């Protein structure tokens, strides 16, 4: 489809660059009146993920996937859950392995390319109730997971999955890894790495023969971290193999479900390769919207409880294409 001209009016004036449009919403936004009911899902390999539900007995469902080191309580997750629940949807906001407040059982963690867990979550939701419509929405890493899942399964998806939405999705992980090493992005890189090292240290104490934390001394770049830790922990041969197998852009041609990719042009964490206009222009199911502003999972609007990304996800999900 042709590229979509964005209707995003822009953020409040004081958020005058992509970094502020990213950081301020994540630190100051407070979404209230969202109450989840938790379900623990045992996965096929014996591990678990926790599912947080808003179950109002609706016949439509939205499944939300969070970003790197996020969870169902992040403000963008709560905001999306609240908006869709108000509009007559049940909501399933699931937490990736190790992200619900309790370390997972298996040696492996979660990663940008892991679509098997999302598949099991979807199957559990469809076993729970006979929904007539399901939409998949993912933010950042969750957006990449959502896009890869839709692309890999293509026409084999359950018929009830009617829409996909990916917001601030790093669809080209190799290119985005280079961006994380820029001086201006060290704040994000160091924050992600610090949180992941805590989890990896816990894994090393439980599985001492499978993980060598001394390799941290060789980590100078984000790619090094993926080479020594992300790849082996998640069963990839090396960083390049991880990027090739996990980057959604390598699988998006297989998408058959109408899918929106919303990436801001000034997102500090996404390279231009993450917004593949060449693919969207020739693909009938991919709708690419690249507003000039918005930051990474920002998209705030003055005097609006919800972000443009949340409202855009709703309108796209409800649209007649």
Active site amino acids: 140, 267, 296
Pairing of strands 90-95, 60-65: parallel
What six digits make up the tokens of 105? Answer: 């059982």
Looking at the DSSP assignment, which residues form a beta bridge with residue 166?
Answer: 138, 261
Q: In 234-302, at which residue ranges do the beta strands (DSSP E only) sit?
A: 259-262, 286-289
Query: What is the C-alpha separation between 50 and 228, in angstroms, rounded?
Result: 28
Give Dmax (Cα) for the chain.
Answer: 54
Any alpha helices (H) in 171-286, and if so which ranges?
Answer: 173-180, 186-206, 222-225, 231-233, 239-246, 277-280
Q: d(Cα 144, Cα 114) in Å, to the nearest integer?
A: 10
Task: Say how far apart CA 43 and CA 116 lie, in whole Å.
Answer: 10
Q: 135's torsion region: left (phi>0), alpha (psi -120 to 50) or beta?
A: beta
């Amino acid at each position: 489809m042709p590229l979509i001209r964005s209707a995003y009016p822009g953020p409040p004036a004081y958020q005058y660059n992509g970094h502020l449009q990213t950081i301020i919403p994540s630190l100051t936004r407070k979404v209230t009146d969202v109450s989840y009911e938790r379900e623990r899902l045992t996965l096929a390999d014996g591990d678990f993920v926790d599912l947080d539900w808003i179950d109002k007995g609706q016949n439509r469902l939205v499944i939300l996937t969070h970003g790197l080191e996020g969870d169902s309580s992040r403000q963008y997750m709560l905001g999306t859950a609240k908006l869709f629940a108000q509009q007559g949807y049940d909501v399933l906001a699931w937490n990736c392995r190790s992200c619900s407040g309790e370390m997972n059982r298996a040696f492996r963690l979660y990663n940008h390319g892991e679509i098997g867990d999302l598949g099991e979550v979807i199957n559990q939701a469809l076993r729970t109730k006979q929904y007539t419509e399901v939409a998949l929405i993912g933010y950042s890493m969750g957006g990449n997971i959502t896009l890869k899942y839709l692309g890999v399964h293509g026409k084999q998806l359950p018929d009830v999955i009617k829409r996909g939405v990916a917001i601030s999705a790093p669809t080209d992980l190799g290119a985005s890894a280079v961006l994380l090493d820029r001086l201006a992005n060290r704040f994000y890189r160091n924050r992600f790495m610090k949180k992941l090292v805590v989890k990896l240290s816990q894994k090393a104490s439980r599985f001492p023969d499978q993980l060598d934390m001394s390799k941290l001394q060789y980590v100078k770049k984000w790619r090094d971290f993926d080479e020594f830790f992300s790849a082996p922990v998640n069963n990839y041969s090396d960083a390049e193999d991880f990027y090739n197998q996990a980057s959604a852009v390598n699988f998006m041609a297989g998408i058959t479900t109408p899918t929106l990719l919303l990436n801001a042009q000034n997102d500090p964490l996404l390279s231009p390769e993450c917004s593949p206009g060449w693919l969207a222009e020739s693909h009938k199911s991919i709708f690419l919207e690249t507003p000039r502003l918005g930051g990474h999972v920002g998209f705030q609007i003055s005097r609006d409880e919800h972000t443009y990304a949340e409202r855009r996800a709703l309108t796209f999900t409800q649209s007649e294409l």
